[in-house]
Structures are given as structure tokens and as C-alpha cells.
Structure 1
Amino acid sequence: MEPSPNARTVESYEQIADEYARETQGGHVLSGGLTLLAETMPGARVLEIGSGPGWDADQLEEAGLTVRRTDITQAFIDFQRSRGKDVARLNAIDDDLGGPYDAVVTLHVLQHMEDDDLEVVLSKIAGALRPGGRFLVSIPLGEDAGWRDGESGNPYYRVLRTEADFTSTLERAGLTPEWTERSNEDEESGWLCLLAGLATEDQA
């Protein structure tokens, strides 16, 4: 059986993890969402899906949150462990996410998932949140899907979605958008960072 686009993309990240870590260290694109999450959910217990090098988790922990770092790419897991971080291997499509968590964070990750997998993962995220929990996510904006070659020459699969389409998918999973931020520091239409909430028991 052919590996899925997401699995083939993970294989590419295995080859470039150290380079990616160097290029993204100190970056602050869309960091406003991390700041807002820390302010909205002080002391929260957070699941991060796709921690990568761990820079976003560092920011959340520095703000007083407790982060369960996870990634599917072994090279990123090894990189973080070399930094003394505790990080678990997690396949968000196939594995149980655990919980309940106060918040779930997944930045620069869902772009690699096809529509069916995205629906599954968002439903699982909603199920892993406590009532009143928050979900922080970023996606590249646009209307296209397909394979691209990174600067290293390794291919990766990327899906561009409109804000309206992504918001509809979130709402079907039971997540309500509360805040958005946009960045044009990327090619094409830029990035959307979005904070969504799960209804409380009183609201359900």
C-alpha cells in the first residue's frame, strides 16, 4: 500500500529536522496566538500536536503552562530529547490523544492532512478537551492542494484552505472560533492563526 501524503511528508521531515530547527529558532510568526492562549488559560495543561523542535512549547512553558510535547517525526523527538525535553511519539490521525486537556495546540501541522484526516483529527481534538477548553491552530490560506519541493529538495504535501472552509470544519467538530490573526510572511495568501473554544456543559 502506498504511504499517505501525510506519511510521505513525515519521511521528508525526518531528513531535514535539524535544518528546520535552525531556521525556525527565534521566529515569532503568529506568536500572538501563543501569548493569547497563555493569558486566556493561565496554568493550563496543554497537548501540543506536532511540537517539531519545541520552540512553541518553550514559549508556553515560560508563560507558566504545562505542555505535553508530541510529534510523529522521530528526528524531531530526538532533537528535543537532546535539549533535555520530554517528548512523546504521537500520530494524531491514528492514536488516542488522551486528556482531558485545558488546551490543544497544533501550529504549522494541519496543512499536511487531507480533508478526511483533518475531520478525524479535529473531532479527536474536541473530544480531548475539557468543557471550556481552547484549541490554537494555524493553517496556510488559499485554495490548492498538492506536492511541493522544499528548499532541501524533499517533497511535502500541502493543502491550502479558505478561512470559511476551515471554520466550517471546526464548527462541525464542535469548536467555535473566538480570535484570529493573519500573517503575510509567507508565499501565496499567508497564514491564519485561530483560537477556538469548546462549549461548556452549560452551553452544550
Structure 2
Amino acid sequence: MTEAGTTVRVDWRHWQSTWDRQQEWYLPDREERFGVMLDAVEALVGPEPKVLDLACGTGSISDRLLRRFPKATGTGIDLDPALLTIARGHFAADSRVEFVRADLRDPEWCDALPHQEYDAVLTATALHWLREDELRTLYGRIAGVLRDGGIFLNADHMPDDTTPRINEAVNAFHRARREREKAAGAQDWAEWWAMAAADPVLAEPTAERFRIFGDPTEGDHADGRPQSAAWHVDALRAAGFAEARLVWASPTDGMVLALK
């Protein structure tokens, strides 16, 4: 990249790493869920999958996918211009993966994809931003881009409101952990975005991101709310998947696997 005629060298691996650390502050078992996700990919569609990384962000799933499966190929799709800038920079020399920008709430988002069918669609900590009706519609479209026998995995916040005392204890435990880690220098969501906004290369796409989603320092701008694992399983079956079930869970999050 250039700025005023001067080459600006960007350490995209650093940006990828700082994003991962910030996410791990909220999700200390993040790597565990990625491992379970890729185990399911290998078990059900093999070690050379064509994968759609849905709401890909900086490409965290694609990064782990390609390191584990060197013959895999992937497409990352997201609306966020700042995170896509990091993803494209990080994978610029890797022909196995490409990135497209589209809004998953747009009925025509599938038209942006370079392939008509995928072996697997993977996503993590993203779809809780969508409303129930939007997510049901999205699940139907995901089924449409999977080959027969293809799989979909969604790891996200999946609360269980039937266990209030357990939930209260777990939430208190994680609040205390985050406070300790914050005191030791951990970076939160708002601080990471403030750092991106101050970077000369990311400042413009970050400003565009703020116009789309709102300023992260001013609160959560999500339209939707997290649904239970049972809700996701029912919605996936209603969307046309032959099988769907919970395959991983923590006290606050879960991962559902659906087979077309």
C-alpha cells in the first residue's frame, strides 16, 4: 500500500493476531470450538473441502482451515470493510482463498459467491446479530449453496434460559476473569476498534464500518439476540437440512451441526 507516494508496510499477521486475542478475552475456549468444527469437517466431508467462511471477519476460520487442510479452498464473505481489509491483506499471497463483500440480509447475497456449491459452510460468533426472521431466511439460503451431503456449522452464543442460577454463577465467574485479564492489559472490543480507527491504513475502512454498524464505543448495535441451541436445530431442520444437532457446548455458547 502507498501513502503520499511512500510504501506503507502493513503487518497483517499482527492485525489478525490482535483480533484473535481480543476475541479470546470474551471467548477463552475459542480455539477449542474451532478444533471441534474442523474435526466435523474432516469427518463428514474429508480433508480437501471447498468451504464458505460465512461472516468471515478477518478470516480466523479460514486461517485455521488452511493450516489444518493444505488442499482445502475457501471463500470468505462479510459486509465489514475493515475486517475484510485485514483478511485480504493477510491472505494476499494465498490463492486457496478469496473474499467477497456482501450483506447476508440481502436476498441476492449468494450471487456474489464465486462457486455455486460448497462442501461446508462455517461461521462463528456472528449470526446472533441477525433477527429471528432474518436468520431463518439465511438458513434456507445456506442449504441452497451446499451440495448434497454438505454440512453447516454455527458456533455462537446459545443461552439456556431454563438454568438461571447456573447462568448467574457462570456469568459472574467470567466477569471476574475478564476483570483480571483487563488489569493485566487485555484489549476489549471497543479498544480494538479505536486502535483500528487510528491506524493510517485501516482508518478509512473503519470509518465506513462505523457508518454501517455504528460506533463500537457507544454500545452494541446488534438487531438480533442469541437463540438457544434447540431453536437453531429446529430452524435448520425447517430450512431443509436432513439432520441437525448440538455438537459442542460451553455454559454460555454452543455449536450446531447440520447435514444436507
Task: Calculate the TM-score normalised by the size of structure 1.
Answer: 0.74
Contact 2:22 2:189 survives alignment (8 Å): no
- The CA distance in 2 between the partners of 1:28 and 1:169, in whole Å, is 26
2:105 aligned partner: 93
Greater shift in the superposed pair: 161-170 or 105-114: 161-170
Deviation at 1:40, TM superposition (A): 2.5
Tell me: CA distance 1:133–1:151, structure 2 relative to 1, closer, same or farther (3 Å).
closer
1:55 aligned partner: 60
Give the residue type in structure 1 aligned to 2:127.
L
- Does the residue aligned with 2:138 lie in a helix, a strand or coil? helix
- Does the residue aligned with 2:230 lie in a helix, a strand or coil? helix
- The CA distance in 1 between the partners of 2:85 and 2:118, in whole Å, is 25
1:79 aligned partner: 86
Give the residue type in structure 1 aligned to 2:102.
L
2:185 aligned partner: none
Deviation at 1:119, TM superposition (A): 1.1
Q: Which deviations, in whole Å up to 9, do the C-alpha atoms of 1:45-100 show, x marking residues without a partner?
A: 11111111112111111232211112110001111122134321121221332421
Tell me: CA distance 1:48–1:119, structure 2 relative to 1, closer, same or farther (3 Å).
same
Contact 1:139 1:161 survives alignment (8 Å): no
- Does the residue aligned with 1:52 lie in a helix, a strand or coil? coil
2:231 aligned partner: 165
Listed as ranges, the gaps of 5+ residues in structure 1 are 1-16, 145-149, 185-189, 199-204
Give the paired residue count. Answer: 173
Deviation at 1:135, TM superposition (A): 0.4
Matched, 1:182 2:246: no
Give the counterpart of 1:28 among 23, 26, 31. Answer: 31
Contact 1:100 1:128 survives alignment (8 Å): yes
Listed as ranges, the gaps of 5+ residues in structure 2 are 1-15, 93-97, 162-187, 191-216
- Does the residue aligned with 1:117 lie in a helix, a strand or coil? helix
Overall identity of the aligned pairs, in %: 23
Aligned pairs for 1:87-126 within 5 A: 87-94=99-106, 95-97=108-110, 98=113, 99-126=116-143
1:40 aligned partner: 44
- The CA distance in 1 between the partners of 2:104 and 2:142, in whole Å, is 9
- Does the residue aligned with 1:130 lie in a helix, a strand or coil? strand
In proportion to residue count, which structure has more strand?
1
- The CA distance in 2 between the partners of 1:54 and 1:170, in whole Å, is 24
Task: Calculate the TM-score normalised by the size of structure 2.
Answer: 0.60
Contact 1:178 1:197 survives alignment (8 Å): no
In proportion to residue count, which structure has more helix?
2
